[in-house]
Amino acid sequence: MRKLIFIPMLLLLFTNCVSTKDTIMNINDSAPAPKLKGDAFEVTEFSTDPKYGYDPDYPINVFYKTSKNETINAERYLRALSGPNGEKLFFKKVDSCCPFTSTHSDMGAGFIDIYELTWVGQGKRVRLYINSYAKGEIKVPMGLGLKK
């Protein structure tokens, strides 16, 4: 009986939400896998696109091979960043949004995760959209820096 209730609820969830599958603009399956430096990604490029990371259609695509631990690459990526002037960055996952179909998930769907970033002296709240279900070029979003 529970399955009979769960399946329609799941279908309702996916039909009521706007799918981002066709709107994610920066997926690149041929992007090189990021290198690790300690417990963080080695990020060397800065984005010149003001939407990169700040818009669910332009998420940071950190791809992980399975959904068994989908936050590991998001955290590796975030540990590489700093505030705009090199400040230590603190982050926490605050929400998920924007379901889309994905072959890299046990459910057949992925979500864009929303992380809130803070640092000492910060003026306004910063939220980044991170996609763990697709690959893309890994860059620093505008207004942020790299950890020294």
Is pLDDT above 80 for 102? Answer: no
Is pLDDT above 60 for 82? Answer: yes
pLDDT-based confidence at residue 16 (cuts at 50, 70, 90): very low
pTM: 0.81
- Tokens 């769960």, residue located: 6
pLDDT-based confidence at residue 1 (cuts at 50, 70, 90): low
pLDDT in tens, 22-75: 578 888 888 888 899 999 999 999 999 999 999 999 999 998 665 467 788 999
Portion of the chain with pLDDT greater than 90, in percent: 54
CA 46 to chain centre: 16
Angstrom distances, CA of residue 58 to CA of 12, 13, 24, 112: 25, 22, 6, 10
The values of phi and psi at residue 100, to 5°, are -150, 155
Question: DSSP letter at 58?
Answer: S
Which of residues 4 and 40 earns the better pLDDT score? Answer: 40
Question: DSSP letter at 5?
Answer: H
Which of residues 74 and 133 earns the better pLDDT score? Answer: 74
In sign, the C-alpha dihedral spanning 41, 133, 135, 83 is negative
Nearest by Cα to 133 from 38, 63, 56: 63
Q: Is 96 left (phi over 0), alpha (psi -120 to 50) or beta?
A: beta
Q: Which of 53-57, 58-62, 89-93, 100-104 is least confident?
A: 100-104
